[in-house]
Every structure is written in C-alpha cells, then in structure tokens.
Structure 1
Amino acid sequence: MSTKTIFIIVLTILLTIFLMVNTDPVDFNFLVTTVAVSKLLVVGLCIVIGFILGFIVGRPRKTVKNLDAEIERHSAIENKKALSDEDRDYIN
C-alpha cells in the first residue's frame, strides 16, 4: 500500500471515531428557528461540505498556458507522423 492510501485510511478511522463520540443533541440556530440536532449530523455535514468545496477549489483549471502546452504536444505528435520511413529508421 502507498503512503497516501495508509494516510487516507488512518484519517478516515480517526474521523469516524470522532463522529461516533459526538452524538449528543445540540441546539442549532438557523435563521429564526432553533432545532435540536445531533452533533454527529452537524459535524458530518460540515466535513462533507468541506470536502466538496476543497475538491472544487483544488482541481486544475484550464488556462491559456495549459492549452498552449497541449497544442505544442499535439503539434509534436503530428510532426512525428509526418516523418518519412527513412527518418524514422534514422531516429530508431
């Protein structure tokens, strides 16, 4: 197993233990109402929302620089296809 996998498993176990210990009801104020909700639900929901936001913010964006690199890579592939048999033999 890789270090990343072990880290994710340990983090998941610790998070599960943390959630299971905090099951007491708490008063949750939302706008004008107060609702008694389990800490497990509140903390779990915050964790899920945090993971979703982290995924959205952390994913790579398509930028002009990335597109230019893709165009150059594609051009190199096309140029390689345009080589004659003699050129390919020489390169290999």
Structure 2
Amino acid sequence: MSGKTIFIIILTVLLTIFLMGNTDAVNFKFLWIDFEMSKLLVIGICVLFGLIIGYILAKPKKVVSSYDDDIEHEQKKIDKNELSDEDRDYIN
C-alpha cells in the first residue's frame, strides 16, 4: 500500500471515531430558522461540503494547446522525389 492510501485510511478512521463521539442533539439557528439536529449529521455535512469544495478547487485545469496542431500543419510532407541522392541513400 502506498503512503497516500495509508494516510486516507487513518484519516477516515479518526473522522469516524470523532463523528461517533458526537451523536447528541444540539439546537442550531440558521438565518431565521431554529432546529434541533444531531452533531453527527452537522459535522458529516460540513465534511462532505469541504471534500466537494476541495475537489473542485484542486482538480487540474484542462489545458488546450494548439501548439501541436500548428506544428503538424506547418510541416511539409517530404516527397522522396525532392530528396537528394545522398539523403535517399541515408534513409534506405
């Protein structure tokens, strides 16, 4: 197993232990709404949102480059008739 896999497993175990230790109900006030919710659910939702936002911000950007296309279009197809005798001998 790689170090990254071991790190993810350890982090998942620690997060699970933390969530299971915080299962009691708590009153929350969001904007003008008061509601009672389990700390487990609130922390879990926050972690999920954090993972989604982290993934969106960290994913690599698509790089569109026309450099390769320009090179292919600019290169001429070399016809064997245009080659010198010395070049033909080298290729064959």
Q: What TM-score does the superposition give when structure 1 sets the normalisation length?
A: 0.70
Give the superposition deviation at 1:71: 4.2
* Map 1:1-92 → 2, pairs under 5 A: 1-62=1-62, 66-68=63-65, 71-72=67-68
Matches of 2:5 and 2:11 in 1, distance apart? 10
SS at match of 2:40: helix
Deviating runs (4+, > 6 A) in structure 1? none
Give the superposition deviation at 1:67: 2.1
Structure 2: give runs of 5+ residues left out of the alignment: 81-89
Give the superposition deviation at 1:3: 0.4
Give the superposition deviation at 1:33: 1.8
Structure 1: give runs of 5+ residues left out of the alignment: none
Matches of 1:13 and 1:36 in 2, distance apart? 27
SS at match of 1:67: coil
Percent identical: 48
SS at match of 2:61: coil
Q: Which whole-Å deviations, capped at 9, do the CAs of 1:29-48 have from their partners, x for residues lacking one?
A: 12212111000000000000
Q: Which residue of 1 aligns with 2:87?
A: none
Q: Which whole-Å deviations, capped at 9, do the CAs of 1:49-72 have from their partners, x for residues lacking one?
A: 00000001111112xxx322x743
Matches of 2:52 and 2:67 in 1, distance apart? 31
Q: Which structure has greater helix proportion?
A: 1
Matches of 2:8 and 2:26 in 1, distance apart? 29
